A and B are shown apart, each in its own frame.
Chain A
Amino acid sequence: MKVRDLKERLIKYLLFFSALLTVAVTFGIILTLIFDSIEFFSKVSFLEFFMGTRWSPTIKPVSFGVLPLVAGTLMVTFGSAMIAIPCGLLAAIYLSEYASEGVRAILKPALEVLAGIPTVVYGFFAFVYITPLLQKIFPDISAYNALAASIVVGIMIIPIVSSISEDALRAVPKTLREAGYALGANKVKVIWSIVVPSGLSGIVASFILGISRAIGETMAVTIAAGRLPRLVNPLNPADWFEPIETMTAAMVEIGMSDVSGQSIEYKSLFAIGLTLFAMTLILNMVSYYVKMRFREVYR
């Protein structure tokens, strides 16, 4: 009896430690990022890093301003959101409000495929097929440009937006819709005046998650968008045709050339990583919060 109890206890603790491992991973990430960033920030001031407008880690005059990288990341994020948000939302509406069960059974997994393609393949697509196509339409576009990368990243995150939005829309009770029809509204009106606002929290959460994913996207932008850090403005159309550098591409660049850990460029890798991690973490928490707080409970 006692031995058996002991065994049960032991197993419980073993399993507990496995679960605790995930917490250890989080701590690992945070500690690694912070420790190496501290070493970086002992040589480069916070001000220079977060406010500096030139990213030139190796070429004199050396400057570690992260803003051009952030601008590059935001540019691709903005572009991909322009594609993913409308497509994702309308797809969600279609799947939830219009599609029959049979159609849904095919389209829903099909959309998931978009997210399942590895990002390096998307980078390949962007560089080998999309950019040459763009060059036919806009002859002045550079070989590495922000537009091609934005297109593929946009396509990649459509399922995130559509899947979560669709769940939110389907959660809206039928009765609400029926009330709208009873008052004489047509389907489109019902959708936009009743269903979408009711599911808004989930929809907005899906947007935020999609954006967070786009920010962390690495290979597609590294291959297709370029390695020229510039302070770009998403509202300036000319900037879309030129190469940029995102935070993740900069990290790949440093990572490919230095694994030994002595130089300050190596340390900057962790500073950028910390910034990136903070951005995605905050977005994910906001998305969770939006979902929880503004959720309409129907029971």
Chain B
Amino acid sequence: MKVLTGKKDRNRNRFNDKLKDRLFLILCLLTTVFGLVILSALITFTFVEAAAWLDWQFLTSPPSRFPEKAGIYPALVGSIYTIALVGLFTLPLGVSAALFLEEYSGRSRIAKIIEINISNLAAVPSIVYGLLGLGIFVSKLNMKPGIIIVGAFTLTLLILPVVIVASQEAIRAVPYSLREASYGLGATKWQTIRGIVLPSAMPGILTGTILALSRAIGETAPLIMIGAASSIFSAPKDFFSPFSAMPMQIFVWTDMPRNEFLHGVAPAGVVVLLAVMLSMNAFAIFLRNRYQKKLRG
């Protein structure tokens, strides 16, 4: 560090310092918003190009080789059915695991191992989960590739770590005093969990789960690996039907050379996907805010 000497030095240094401070601040600010600015520009382009193509017909039609007739309906339904199943599977599994880790195991070694394992799983690339789904569900268990239930199983495994961690935090947030009160009244552990801890933690758990689901709905690679179709014209009938999902449909449309697809149909698909994700996120946040007030009050 420079050692300050005479008065002249001190004044000059102070000015330089102020200038450096200013410049650095501006640099930091610019780089911080850099990514945001670019993303906003990209999203704006997308919306502008999608505007003319996004209408009721787009939402309710199947894809077509004619861009004007193309629609996202089967993919939309496929996505929603799949995500509904994923939510159904992941919520009980995730909450159970989180409950075990928070309420039953304490700081035991096995809990530590499980927790480290979970944080490793959360960082595994999603395509590897696709391989897992392919290797186990399609190959070993001989399930048909490309059907909703296989996709749902695979995506469940993908977001399970996230749901567990979110649930853990929600459960942890329940004040110990509440538990103590329950024990004091003579309740067993499970009665306490069912009656006090879970209900209080539920909003947080649901929020975390919905956010995780919103991430799952945008996943493409695992679905490709388990054989989801690239061209499907009807919405899935049941959970054993072959299906396509919105991100897959966008992927296929990005491959079509005609400009109407690249600059019309695909952006419209992107907008629908983002809209669905946004609504899910908004719903999650709404839930959290609403029930947080209730807890406090």
Q: Does B118 contact A (CB under 8 A)?
A: yes
Enumerate chain A residues within 8 angstroms of B221, measured Cβ to Cβ: 119, 218-219, 248, 252
Q: B-facing mask of A53-94, CB < 8 A → 1, else 0? A: 000000000000000000000000000000000110011011
Say yes or no: A259 contacts B145, CB within 8 Å.
Answer: yes
Residues of A at the B interface (CB closer than 8 Å) are 4, 7-8, 11-12, 14-16, 18-23, 25-26, 28-29, 32-33, 35-36, 86-87, 90-91, 93-95, 98, 107, 110-111, 113-114, 116-121, 123-125, 127-130, 155, 158, 162, 183-189, 191, 193, 209, 212-213, 215-219, 223, 248, 251-252, 255-256, 259, 261, 269-270, 273, 276-277, 280-281, 284-285, 288
13 A-B pairs (CB sep. < 8 Å): A15-B99, A18-B100, A19-B105, A94-B32, A114-B39, A124-B250, A187-B24, A215-B125, A216-B124, A255-B134, A259-B138, A273-B127, A276-B127
For A216, what are the chain B residues with a Cβ–Cβ distance below 8 Å?
A: 124-128
| Other-chain residue from A20, A155, A185 in contact with B114 (beta carbon distance below 8 A) | A20
Interface contact B132-A25, CB-CB below 8 Å: yes
Contact of A8 with B188 at beta-carbon distance under 8 Å, contacts A212-B123, A256-B230 already known: yes
Residues of A within 8 A of B185 (CB): none
Interface size class of chain B, counting residues whose CB lies under 8 Å from the partner chain: 35 or more
Interface residues of B (CB under 8 A from A): 1, 4, 17-18, 20-21, 24-25, 27-29, 31-36, 38-39, 42, 45-46, 92-93, 96-97, 99-101, 104-105, 113-114, 117-121, 123-132, 134-136, 138-139, 145-146, 157, 160-161, 164, 188-190, 214-215, 218-221, 224-227, 230, 247, 250-251, 254, 262-263, 266-267, 270, 273-274, 277, 281
Which residues on A sit within 8 Å (CB–CB) of B263? 128
**Chain B positions within 8 Å of A114 at CB level:** 35-36, 39
Contact between B1 and A118 (Cβ–Cβ < 8 Å)? no
Return chain B residues, CB-CB under 8 Å to A119. Answer: 218, 220-221
Q: Do residues B132 and A29 form an inter-chain contact, with CB atoms below 8 A?
A: yes
Knowing that A129-B45, A155-B35, A188-B20 are A-B contacts, what are 7 other residue pairs whose CB atoms are under 8 Å apart, sorted by A's residue number?
A: A19-B164, A26-B121, A118-B219, A120-B250, A184-B1, A184-B4, A216-B124
Do A277 and B32 touch across chains, with their CB atoms under 8 A apart?
Answer: no
In angstroms, Cα B113 to Cα A252, docked, is: 32
B44 to chain A, nearest CB (A): 10
Are B139 and A261 touching (Cβ within 8 A)?
yes
Q: What are the 9 A-B residue pairs with the smallest beta carbon separation, nearest first?
A: A216-B125, A118-B218, A186-B17, A18-B96, A32-B135, A94-B28, A15-B100, A91-B32, A19-B97
A199 CA / B220 CA spacing, docked (Å): 36
The reply to whether B270 and A276 contact each other, CB–CB distance below 8 Å, is: no
Give every chain A residue within 8 A of B129 (Cβ-Cβ).
29
Cβ-closest chain A residue relative to B230: A256
CA distance A116 to B218 in the complex (A): 9
- Rounded to whole Å, the gap between the CB of A264 and the closest CB of chain B is 15
For the complex, give the distance between the alpha carbons of A118 and B281 in Å.
14
Out of B120, B135, B254, B281, name the residue touching A123 (CB < 8 Å): B254
Query: Are the C-beta atoms of A29 and B128 separated by less than 8 Å?
Result: yes
Alpha-carbon distance between A155 and B46 when the two chains are bound, in angstroms: 17
B122 to chain A, nearest CB (A): 9
Among candidates B126, B215, B230, residue contacting A116 with C-beta atoms closer than 8 Å: B215
> Is A128 a contact partner of B254 (Cβ separation < 8 A)?
yes
B41 to chain A, nearest CB (A): 8
C-alpha gap A217/B126 in the complex (Å): 8
Chain A hits for B124, CB < 8 A = 29, 216, 277, 280-281
B218–A121 touching, CB < 8 Å:
yes
